[in-house]
């Protein structure tokens, strides 16, 4: 993946994390009163596709970027 701005505009550090939205499945059980309780079991699915990406540096600064053609 090639991005246009991989360095933090505030401090100049490289990106360490891509902040994204993921589809998550959480296992639940149904109680007798009709409510749901989490069982603690989680499975993370594929990230939701979309641009621009949100990047985060080690200083927790966040910025968006866009993909460029290689």
Residue 40, in any domain of the structure: yes
Residue 36, in any domain of the structure: yes
Q: Which domain holds residue 26?
A: 17-65
* The predicted structure's pLDDT at residue 11: 93
CA distances from 45 to 12, 39, 42 (A): 32, 18, 10
Residue-level pLDDT, tens digit, the chain, 70 residues: 577 778 888 998 988 988 877 777 778 888 888 888 888 777 777 666 666 778 899 999 998 877 555 4
Residue 57: exposure state from Cβ atoms within 10 A (0-12, 13-18, ≥19): buried
Residue 21, in any domain of the structure: yes
On the CB side of 50, CA atoms within 13 Å amount to: 8
Residue 12, in any domain of the structure: no
pTM here is 0.56
């Amino acid at each position: 993946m090639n991005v246009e701005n991989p360095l933090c505009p505030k401090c100049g550090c490289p990106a360490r994390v891509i902040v994204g939205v993921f589809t998550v499945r959480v296992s639940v059980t149904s109680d007798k009163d009709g409510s749901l309780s989490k069982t603690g079991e989680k499975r993370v699915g594929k990230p939701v596709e979309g641009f621009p990406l949100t990047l985060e540096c080690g200083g927790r600064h966040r910025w968006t970027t866009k993909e460029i053609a290689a």
